[in-house]
Amino acid sequence: MRPVDPWIAAAAQEIAGRAERELEALVGVSSPSGDVAGAEEVLAIVAALLPATAAVRRLPCSSPGHAPDMVADLDGTGTGRLLLLGHVDTVVAHDAHRPMERSGERLTGSGTVDMKGGDVLALGVLRALAAAPQRFARVSLLLVCDEEWRTAPFAHTETFAGYDCCLCFEAGQTDEQGNDEVVVRRKAAGTMVVEGHGRSAHSGSQPDRGANALLALAEAARVVAAQHDPAGPEHLTAVPTVLTSGDAFNVVPAAGRLTSDLRADSERAFDAVLAAIPGRVGEARLEASMLRVWPGMDAREAAAPVLAAAARALGRPVLAGARGGASDASHLARAIPVTIDGLGPRGGDAHHPDEYVLAGSLRPRAEVALATALAALGR
């Protein structure tokens, strides 16, 4: 096994030496999606951790009512433009927020692995490159404030079109043998909503004068579930997740809403699910639409030379992996063909009270991120 490139080894040691303290600072702030004050506080900490040569600008967030997103730019004397990507929002509400605490190898706290741990590594890569300006023309760090709950179109794809590579710092992973993996494939993700429109009536004295929206939506849920085909050509998963209907126990429900989660290799697969929803069930009317659609991502071919060069620099494999969850990397991949995700630390239980990062993964994942960044820049 070849030794790790000396510059990468030294820079990764520096990143890992600071990572736990920086992660504790970021996780110490509760920053659920849509909370402007929380986002601003996290971004203020980030600004304090940036290299002195970074120029900070703010871009309007994709989602109205959110804090502006942050971009930190470094200009160098070399060639190649690299985008580092992360998000500072979490799914955890203020009353459920957990500051970081260490238990053995686990750094447990809200947003540790999704994705403030990745933000810390991205910051470390930016600082390392700031000390080597000859290696790049520009490196930009983009941190958004609305990744977890965004339904609006992603606003920044064209802003960074023309960059040579995008590295996204969602959680890292390994294969079954423990080899480092990054993510170059993601499924498309969609949220489908079916609105039910019926007619109310007293459920005891005149139930048949009503048109039951709940029963119509229950039929729609059955139709959605029937489209579920994970072994099929598009690997489609179609899962009804939320059904709300009715206002009183003794009234035929006149309205309601069904929400379903759709995932597939391509967003085109969602069209068949939409088309399968009947317009009427009995006397109740149904209207189906997509609340959000995130594209799929397949950067295997474009990323292969970069991962091969990164593996040579590390003296160990860096494998191309896949993941079913959605990420902003999929949006950027439409404008930046070499888009590689999963460069954050390893951990687990994302969106769960016991969410954690493995402390022992910080240094090796920093090595992977640094090696991938240098390979993408051709250095």
SS3 labels along 39-92: HHHHHHHHHHHCCCCCEEEEECCCCCCCCCEEEEEEECCCCCEEEEEEECCECC
In a domain, 364, yes or no: yes
In a domain, 91, yes or no: yes
Question: Taking a C-beta distance cutoff of 8 angstroms, is the pair 211, 199 a contact?
Answer: yes
Residue 301's H or E segment, with its range, is: helix 300-314
**Do 176 and 52 share a domain, yes or no?**
yes
**Do 192 and 95 share a domain, yes or no?**
no
Among 237, 267, 293, the domain-final residue is 293
**Do 370 and 261 share a domain, yes or no?**
no
What is the model's pLDDT at position 1? 64
> In total, how many domains does the chain have?
2
What is the model's pLDDT at position 213? 98
**Do 182 and 197 share a domain, yes or no?**
no
**Do 138 and 39 share a domain, yes or no?**
yes
Only one residue has tokens 């970081």, namely 100
Among 248, 273, 293, the domain-final residue is 293
pTM for this one?
Answer: 0.93
**Do 168 and 301 share a domain, yes or no?**
yes
**Do 152 and 283 share a domain, yes or no?**
no
Six-digit token pair at 288? 């189906």
In a domain, 236, yes or no: yes
In a domain, 270, yes or no: yes
**Do 44 and 148 share a domain, yes or no?**
yes
**Do 195 and 173 share a domain, yes or no?**
no
Among 261, 293, 325, the domain-final residue is 293
CATH number, residue 133: 3.40.630.10
**Do 328 and 209 share a domain, yes or no?**
no
What is the model's pLDDT at position 324? 86
CATH number, residue 231: 3.30.70.360
Dihedrals phi, psi of 190, to nearest 5 degrees: -140, 145
In a domain, 30, yes or no: yes
Q: Cis check for the bond before 115: say yes or no (omega within 30 of 0).
A: yes
Q: Which residues of the chain have a pLDDT value below 50?
A: none
**Do 90 and 211 share a domain, yes or no?**
no
Surface-to-core class of residue 36, CB atoms within 10 Å of its CB (0-12 exposed, 13-18 middle, 19+ buried):
middle
In a domain, 1, yes or no: no
Domain extent at residue 281: 188-293
In a domain, 348, yes or no: yes
**Do 177 and 205 share a domain, yes or no?**
no
Only one residue has tokens 């290696």, namely 135
Surface-to-core class of residue 132, CB atoms within 10 Å of its CB (0-12 exposed, 13-18 middle, 19+ buried):
middle
In a domain, 139, yes or no: yes
Nearest to 376 by CA among 160, 82, 95: 82
